[in-house]
Amino acid sequence: MNKSDLVAALAQQADLPQRKSEDIVNLVFETMGKALLGGDRIEIRGFGSFTVKEYDGYTGRNPKTGDRISVKAKRLPFFKTGKELKEKVDEAV
């Protein structure tokens, strides 16, 4: 499923015009993206949570050539599956 499938499914299930459904889907993921960008967590009961992990920069080596390279500090978002979703996905055959 991609974003346009989600827009179509939401329009149908929530009885919304396609255009409105699209605005909502975009706004939901934009809101979530902004929270992560600001370093905030997202917690959705029964679904899962998102966190942003911070990594310090370090000096590493290119394993092939042995050259020293500096790896910059970075942030990466992670998702942890919620209990309900985790159980249901595993139970489904």
Partner 1 sequence: MTLTKADIAKKIADDCGFMKGEATEIVEKLLDIIKQRLIAGEDVMISGFGKWTVKSKHSRRGRNPQTGEELILDARKVVTWKYSPVLKKAVNSSLSK
Identity of the residue, 61 or 78, whose beta carbon is nearer to partner 1 in the bound complex: 78
Pairing of strands 58-61, 68-71: antiparallel
Tokens 């706004």 found at = 27
Element (H, E) at 72: none
Identity of the residue, 45 or 64, whose beta carbon is nearer to partner 1 in the bound complex: 45
Q: How far is the CB of 93 from partner 1 (least distance, A)?
A: 9
Q: Is residue 83 close enough to count as binding partner 1 by CB under 8 A?
A: no
Q: Is residue 14 close enough to count as binding partner 1 by CB under 8 A?
A: yes
Tokens 């993206």 found at = 33
Q: How far is the CB of 7 from partner 1 (least distance, A)?
A: 10
Fill in the amino acid letter for 27: L
